[in-house]
Amino acid sequence: MISPLHKFLAPDAIAIIGASADPTKRGYQAMNGLINDGYSGAIYPVNPKTDTILGIKTYPDVASIPDTADLALICTPAGSVPDLLDACGAKGVKGAVILASGFGEAGAAGKQLEAEVLAASERSGVRVVGPNTSGMFNLHKKVNLLALGNVIPGDIGIISQSGNMLLALALEAENNGHIGFSTYVGPGNQTDVGFADYLRYLGEEQNTRVATFYVEGFKDGRKFLDVASETARAKPVVVYKSGSTRAGQKAASSHTGSLAGSYRMTVDLLRQAGVSVVEKSDEILPVAEGLGLLQKASGKRVAILADGGGQATIASDRLSEAGLRLAKISDETRTALRAILFPQASLVNPIDVAGSSDANLPLLAECMEILARDPQVDMVFLVGMFGGYALRFASELADDEGKTAELIAGLARRTPKPLIVYSLYAPVKPSPLAILRRAGIPVYDSIEHAVQVMAALGERGHYLEQSAATDYPAPVQTVPAMQELFRTAQRQRRDLFEFEAKQLLKTYGVAIPPQRVVRSDTEIEDAVGEFGEQPLVMKVVSKDILHKSDAGGVRLNLSGAQALENARKEILENCKRYKADAEIEGVLVSPMARKGIEVIIGVSQDPIFGPVMMFGLGGIFVEILKDVAFRAIPFSRQDARSMIDQIKARKILEGARGEAAVDKEALIDLLLKVSTLVQAHPEISELDLNPVIAYADGYAVVDARVIVKPADI
Amino acid sequence: MISPLHKFLAPDAIAIIGASADPTKRGYQAMNGLINDGYSGAIYPVNPKTDTILGIKTYPDVASIPDTADLALICTPAGSVPDLLDACGAKGVKGAVILASGFGEAGAAGKQLEAEVLAASERSGVRVVGPNTSGMFNLHKKVNLLALGNVIPGDIGIISQSGNMLLALALEAENNGHIGFSTYVGPGNQTDVGFADYLRYLGEEQNTRVATFYVEGFKDGRKFLDVASETARAKPVVVYKSGSTRAGQKAASSHTGSLAGSYRMTVDLLRQAGVSVVEKSDEILPVAEGLGLLQKASGKRVAILADGGGQATIASDRLSEAGLRLAKISDETRTALRAILFPQASLVNPIDVAGSSDANLPLLAECMEILARDPQVDMVFLVGMFGGYALRFASELADDEGKTAELIAGLARRTPKPLIVYSLYAPVKPSPLAILRRAGIPVYDSIEHAVQVMAALGERGHYLEQSAATDYPAPVQTVPAMQELFRTAQRQRRDLFEFEAKQLLKTYGVAIPPQRVVRSDTEIEDAVGEFGEQPLVMKVVSKDILHKSDAGGVRLNLSGAQALENARKEILENCKRYKADAEIEGVLVSPMARKGIEVIIGVSQDPIFGPVMMFGLGGIFVEILKDVAFRAIPFSRQDARSMIDQIKARKILEGARGEAAVDKEALIDLLLKVSTLVQAHPEISELDLNPVIAYADGYAVVDARVIVKPADI
């Protein structure tokens, strides 16, 4: 699919509507920027009050423009926009960047105006960037409608819901000196074009090697996930999502009016779609830079080459914390290193050359070469003083240091393995480090940032490897009898009864304990006949009683007809007392489940992301420790497994404290079956299996709840 | 107590032993550095082979120096050091910095030589920095024995176990342009002078406003804690401790040979002593700078003043994550802000001026003034473009921006509340930001770093407030009968029996369930007589059986004489089977504890930090989630409370899931009693109460284990 955005985000002719001769106005600054940058396309200033601006002929209105323009920059007030879009459409303009605010973010009248903008966009065929946007640039095309100084063309595409955030990244890039951008767009209110559309565009845009997003809130999160999981196969997608706390969510919503959603859920879903999620704002640019340059690593095993102690130690700590591993150096590599390094060098990763390179700098390049050759090494991380030898020790070292930089640069061209550098001297930008950077080797002044980059490279390599062989469950056929179950519930304006929910699960292949609904004392005999003397549980069945235990509607460990009869009587009495007008269908009788490990599976329809499954351990793990994982439905077998493995308390599932490990394959199977069932029945608004008891062999679904969408929705 | 280090770390005369005319040698570089920096004291180069170096008369040996020197820099090889120390002592030298390596870190011969160095130091009275040190500087005294370029005098004192780490911080400071240092020392092998001594020195040293440490491993951690808790009352102490992971610990130990110890425990103990622990290496300098400038905040309530959306949102997220709070702005403040800001400004913290200041920059200073006056605000955080208005919008704004910076600087001089700035423009160092920094307002280019600084300020304020009213339990008198208990156990080469451990606890005021040791069937009658029909637990008492349950040595829920007799028989049989030669003392009978919430209290003698208590919730919380807190013994009532509150699962103690909250005061009391008991009985090597069951009223110590130190230690 080719994004329609290409037509106007790389425009060959631009109309500036509301062009101005006043240097403080955007309608002047944008024109001035285009001219100064040497934009080669046509510029059509529209201004009825003057004949030329900056030496370019102006037009009184859009209709008077002699040719068409791909893009219109609309600098006029909000109220003028709908008519202008119509005029643009008549002229064949493909897209408009609308700077004005005063739309949906500004009360009821603004909302109305924004609806008119959308209608005009649809009517005219002119796609809308914004309104309420900071603007856009495409530096390779020399289109910089923000007139942002000191930004250089490069490979980072960026979409930021905050103009100041773009500015911060641009200043950071300016200070770095090597980092450049391809396209920037401020999505503004996303009235027409939204995050997912921009992502598709950046995914296709040839100058962009990494698509980077600052997001306060998604409007259509599901669409973004869909496009991301396609795009991420081709190039890295980096997202910083603000609102990780309640305080941040409130701030974001007052800033953009965005619905924040659950942060941890959003992060899980983005990662599922292959997105490299960055959780600190000062890591956005380093990670984007590193992914842009290096794209991915084949694995998470890092060899550290250091010329001193402290930083190698810090790097080791950070690597482990970030889920990376210190590579186990092969014997062959060790032998090769021993042959060239001083005897006191440490040959256990982190490799410390211990002074070997002080008088022989090219040795560092040689060591990197040896490490990069090791099949047990996925990335090589040079840590220490490189770049500063001549500055620190003797200017005579400058030649050697430059030569060494060239050798490392040469290695970078030959090896597919990422080379990453942390240098103490990065803040002072010595020339050897510039040589490395020009060869595509990122150089960091923070070990922490460098490690985040390596973590992102490793994660991305893992994602690509996995997504090459993703195993999605086949969708299931909707079973008519189950559809009927939902229709009945909808007619009766109730949710599914527990026994119906379990019936539903069973129909789609989930193992369900035997169950029997008892509506009279005579039916108790049948239950005894079926279940014999094993201990049973009895629960009330009533659409009017949601919290069965609270109502006294549950009895455990029942055995024999008498116990069942008594229990049924008690339950009915309790429930009447609890809610006098409760309609009681009967009681559900089932064998007690064996002891095991409680887990919870929940499905909900998220307003931003659609159907999402949650998995966690039961009780305090969910309620207090919030130790849960989320995946968007549908998900693959690999996703199901990673959802289980992501839980902090996973060791409990893996057999801690002398217990046997639970049957993880059975749990994975259960997660997949529930996900396909949910797809087959869009009538499901929520589904909760709480608890499921996991065993060394299989599992038992002890309670099941299915909330049904009303029929009229 | 006045540190003896003043005498030589601020020397008035320096001997350079091994002075050299070769510019690549330290014995030249140090001299050259002293001369170039304009050191005003005497320099005595010692070199038998030449008459002058760099125009200064040399002496053939130490004895020939015409006067005394406070400090000797020893640049000669390891083997020469012991004799040189003796010579220095004879000359009245107070301290020596020994650069050579080849000591304890280099095998048996080196260890022997290091012991000789220590002996010579003690004999001669010459204190030793190193050996195997990168050196030291005292920039206010113009003594820079590292000849490190581009460092300016300032208020950060730094002790770093890695020379490269110092270099990295110095380069970072150089790039910042404002950050300066007072004293640096590389402690090297800490043969004589160690971390705690340096801390005491920096605490007393007048030019140092913050004492900063990079530590790979403590030798005498307890001494450091003791000095820290004194020093931290007067000035901030910042520690970065490496080895947070197993990989880092291995790397550190191969680097410095240091014993790493448990990282989480080290962090807890340092914080208990008032240390500001930094956990990321790129936060060391920002936090040291901020604490040096601002010292502390009166609380954790931050007002954010922003001129745009994105960064205010990010700041809100980071603040919450770091345990800070967005201040609730008072109505008065809101009214004052409303009077001067545009109507669209957001007056709910984060305050967003929404363009109000674009044409009126001094308004930002006015807003900060208003916020700083609010009694509900502890710190004011300016976030956004300030410093870059003239650069971004129009150079005509430069005057106004400079004036605004002066206004903010004036406010900083008047208000005791910390002002902190994050600016998008910090990387390009515009002059308004330099004005702020010169006024003592730290300016950051990372929101994350700024927030870490505020967190450290808030934590330190909290520590100071608390330590002003610390409530330590009175030490208890050692009870002779209990001493006898230990002597008996030591004689019998065993640990305390459970009933003895509980007896010990009871003696020192811990509530202990009634218990009875039963050694024969007849004694069972007595137990029945005492406990009646309530359900009882029976456990084997044997010095040879550590894991009572594994041995089948525990029976629960016993009631009546017959059940007790049977249980006793079974237990004795099981234990014989488990360990045929086990000496069995009898069985311990006690009432079953009510259900409640299991917690664990453990005390151990840490080889680095001495007696340390651990607290956590029982079972998986300790074993799998490692959700535990540590405090050095003795600790205060406040420490005991914070130890409980630090647990991630503390909500379980506070009454989650409909349960009542446990009696936290009783738990605090228990922790304090155990701590005083441990102090009264240094014979205790380990003590474990596992589990203690906490109730809404009180607690029950269900099991107690006391490991006894052998008598001969």
Q: Name the residue facing A164 among B348, B424, B619 (closest C-beta).
A: B424
Cite the DSSP H helix spans in B468-560. 480-491, 498-507, 521-531
- Note whether A49 contacts B: Cβ–Cβ < 8 A: no
pTM: predicted TM-score of the whole model, two decimal places: 0.95
- Note whether A621 contacts B: Cβ–Cβ < 8 A: no
Kindly indicate the confidence band of residue A655, based on its pLDDT and cuts at 50, 70 and 90.
confident
Query: HEC states along A559-597?
Result: CCHHHHHHHHHHHHHHHHHHCCCCCCCEEEEEECCCCCE
pLDDT, tens digit, 9 for 90 and up, residues A687-701: 999 999 999 999 999
3-state helix, strand, coil in chain A (%, to 5): 45, 20, 35
Residues 6+ apart with CB under 8 A from A339: none
Kindly indicate the confidence band of residue A460, based on its pLDDT and cuts at 50, 70 and 90.
very high
Range A308-344 burial, b when 16+ CB lie within 10 A, else e: bbbbbbbbbbbbbbbebebbebeeebbebbeeebeee
User: What are the backbone angles phi and psi of residue A686, rounded to the nearest 5°?
Assistant: -145, 150
Q: How far apart are CA B437 and CA B451, in angstroms?
A: 17
Residues 6+ apart with CB under 8 A from A149: none
Whether residues A248 and B316 touch (CB distance < 8 A) is answered with yes
Query: HEC states along A353-386?
Result: CCCCCCCCCHHHHHHHHHHHHCCCCCEEEEEECC
- What is the structure's pLDDT at A157? 98
Q: Name the residue facing B245 among A161, A317, A393 (closest C-beta).
A: A317
Tokens read off for B135: 């050196």
Which long-range contacts (C-beta less than 8 Å, at least 24 apart) are formed by A668-671? A668/A637, A668/A640, A668/A641, A668/A644, A670/A510, A670/A511, A670/A601, A670/A699, A671/A601, A671/A613, A671/A615, A671/A635, A671/A640, A671/A643, A671/A644
Residue A435's identity, in one-letter code, is I
Are A243 and A217 spatial neighbours (Cβ–Cβ below 8 Å)?
yes
**Cβ-based burial of B226 (10 A; exposed 0-12, middle 13-18, buried ≥19):** middle
Distance of CA B696 to the CA centre of its chain: 33
Angle at A380 between CA A433 and CA A334, to 5 degrees: 125
Shortest Cα–Cα distance, B430 to chain A (Å): 12
**Residue among A166, A317, A444 with most chain B CBs within 10 A, to mutate:** A317
Tokens read off for A106: 């500004």
**Cβ-based burial of B244 (10 A; exposed 0-12, middle 13-18, buried ≥19):** buried
- What is the structure's pLDDT at A127? 98
Tell me if the bond preceding A187 is cis, omega within 30° of 0. Answer: no
pLDDT, tens digit, 9 for 90 and up, residues A68-82: 999 999 999 999 999
Range B629-640 burial, b when 16+ CB lie within 10 A, else e: bbbbbbbbbbbb
Q: Provide, as residue numbers in chain A, all residues whose Cβ is less than 8 Å from the Cβ of B243.
A: 313, 317
**Cβ-based burial of B13 (10 A; exposed 0-12, middle 13-18, buried ≥19):** middle
Overall average pLDDT of the A263-289 stretch: 97
- What is the structure's pLDDT at A256? 60
- Note whether B247 contacts A: Cβ–Cβ < 8 A: yes
Q: Provide, as residue numbers in chain B, all residues whose Cβ is less than 8 Å from the Cβ of A24.
A: 393-394
Are B232 and B291 spatial neighbours (Cβ–Cβ below 8 Å)?
no
- Note whether B624 contacts A: Cβ–Cβ < 8 A: yes
pLDDT, tens digit, 9 for 90 and up, residues A123-173: 999 999 999 999 999 999 999 999 888 899 999 999 999 999 999 999 999
Tokens read off for B569: 């028989």
- What is the structure's pLDDT at B487? 96
% of chain B surpassing 70 pLDDT: 98
DSSP element (H, E) containing A287: helix A284-294
Are B274 and B224 spatial neighbours (Cβ–Cβ below 8 Å)?
no
- What is the structure's pLDDT at A257? 56
Tokens read off for A652: 């409990």
Range B295-317 burial, b when 16+ CB lie within 10 A, else e: bbbbbbbbbbbbbbbbbbbbbbb
Range A84-121 burial, b when 16+ CB lie within 10 A, else e: bbbbbbebebbbbbbbbbbbbbbeeebeebbebbbebb
Comparing CA positions, the residue from B576, B535, B527 lying closest to residue B553 is B576
Q: How far apart are CA A104 and CA A123, in angstroms?
A: 20
Shortest Cα–Cα distance, B573 to chain A (Å): 24
Minimum Cα–Cα distance from B253: chain A residue: A313
Q: How far apart are CA B337 and CA B363, in angstroms?
A: 10
Regarding beta strands A443-444 and A419-423, do their DSSP bridges make them parallel or antiparallel, or are they unpaired? parallel
Query: DSSP 3-state assignment of B604?
Result: strand
- What is the structure's pLDDT at A711? 85
- Note whether B134 contacts A: Cβ–Cβ < 8 A: no
pLDDT, tens digit, 9 for 90 and up, residues B101-159: 999 888 899 999 999 999 999 999 999 999 999 999 999 999 999 988 889 999 999 99
Residue B446 pLDDT exceeds 90: yes
Are A347 and A338 spatial neighbours (Cβ–Cβ below 8 Å)?
yes
Whether residues B428 and A171 touch (CB distance < 8 A) is answered with yes
* Lowest-pLDDT choice from A655-664, B100-109, B313-322, B471-480: A655-664
Tokens read off for B199: 């801390």
- Note whether A244 contacts B: Cβ–Cβ < 8 A: yes
**Residue among B314, B349, B358, B424 with most chain A CBs within 10 A, to mutate:** B314
Minimum Cα–Cα distance from B308: chain A residue: A164
How many CA atoms does the CB half-sphere of B161 hold within 13 Å?
Answer: 30
Comparing CA positions, the residue from B354, B455, B347, B361 lying closest to residue B403 is B361
Tokens read off for B130: 């190193």
- Note whether B162 contacts A: Cβ–Cβ < 8 A: yes
Tokens read off for A493: 């304006």
- Note whether A161 contacts B: Cβ–Cβ < 8 A: yes
Q: Provide, as residue numbers in chain B, all residues whose Cβ is less than 8 Å from the Cβ of A262.
A: none
Comparing CA positions, the residue from A304, A271, A326 lying closest to residue A447 is A304
Residue B260 pLDDT exceeds 60: no
- What is the structure's pLDDT at A625? 81
User: What are the backbone angles phi and psi of residue B57, rounded to the nearest 5°?
Assistant: -65, 135
**Cβ-based burial of B499 (10 A; exposed 0-12, middle 13-18, buried ≥19):** buried
Whether residues B317 and A172 touch (CB distance < 8 A) is answered with no
CB-defined contacts A:B, below 8 A: 226
Which long-range contacts (C-beta less than 8 Å, at least 24 apart) are formed by B465-469? B465/B298, B466/B638, B467/B229, B467/B232, B467/B233, B467/B274
Q: Provide, as residue numbers in chain A, all residues whose Cβ is less than 8 Å from the Cβ of B657.
A: 619-620, 623-624
Whether residues A321 and B245 touch (CB distance < 8 A) is answered with yes
Cite the DSSP H helix spans in B356-495. 362-373, 389-392, 398-414, 431-438, 447-467, 480-491
| Mean pLDDT of all residues belonging to chain A | 94
Regarding beta strands A276-278 and A210-215, do their DSSP bridges make them parallel or antiparallel, or are they unpaired? unpaired
Residue B259 pLDDT exceeds 60: no
Residues 6+ apart with CB under 8 A from B352: A254, A255, B306, B307, B308, B309, B312, B345, B346
- What is the structure's pLDDT at B681? 97
Residue A606 pLDDT exceeds 90: yes
Shortest Cα–Cα distance, A680 to chain B (Å): 35
% of chain A surpassing 70 pLDDT: 98
ipTM for this model: 0.94
Whether residues A619 and B251 touch (CB distance < 8 A) is answered with no
Are A644 and A680 spatial neighbours (Cβ–Cβ below 8 Å)?
no
Whether residues A255 and B313 touch (CB distance < 8 A) is answered with yes
Q: How far apart are CA A558 and CA A554, in angstroms?
A: 11
Neighbour count for residue B175 (Cβ, 10 Å): 18
- What is the structure's pLDDT at A255? 62
Q: Provide, as residue numbers in chain B, all residues whose Cβ is less than 8 Å from the Cβ of A254.
A: 346, 348, 352
Q: How far apart are CA A127 and CA A211, in angstroms?
A: 21
Segment 428-457 of chain A within 8 Å of chain B by CB: 428, 445-449
* Lowest-pLDDT choice from A404-413, A435-444, B373-382, B555-564: B555-564
Q: Provide, as residue numbers in chain B, all residues whose Cβ is less than 8 Å from the Cβ of A243.
A: 313, 317
DSSP element (H, E) containing B81: helix B81-90
Overall average pLDDT of the A489-512 stretch: 96
A625 versus A538: the higher-pLDDT residue is A538
Neighbour count for residue B41 (Cβ, 10 Å): 17
Rg for chain A (alpha carbons), in Å? Answer: 31
Overall average pLDDT of the A365-393 stretch: 96
pLDDT, tens digit, 9 for 90 and up, residues A83-133: 999 999 999 999 999 999 999 888 899 999 999 999 999 999 999 999 999
Q: How far is CA A493 from CA A490, A496, A707, A710, B1, in A?
A: 5, 10, 11, 7, 80
Whether residues A657 and B256 touch (CB distance < 8 A) is answered with no
Q: Provide, as residue numbers in chain B, all residues whose Cβ is less than 8 Å from the Cβ of A430.
A: none
Residue A533 pLDDT exceeds 90: no
- Note whether A394 contacts B: Cβ–Cβ < 8 A: yes
Shortest Cα–Cα distance, A689 to chain B (Å): 19
How many CA atoms does the CB half-sphere of A110 hold within 13 Å?
Answer: 13
Whether residues A394 and B625 touch (CB distance < 8 A) is answered with no
Rg for chain B (alpha carbons), in Å? Answer: 31
Distance of CA A413 to the CA centre of its chain: 31
Residue A13 pLDDT exceeds 90: yes
- The number of helices, as runs of H, and strands, as runs of E, in chain B is 25, 30
DSSP element (H, E) containing B212: strand B210-215
Are A540 and A565 spatial neighbours (Cβ–Cβ below 8 Å)?
no
Query: DSSP 3-state assignment of B239?
Result: strand
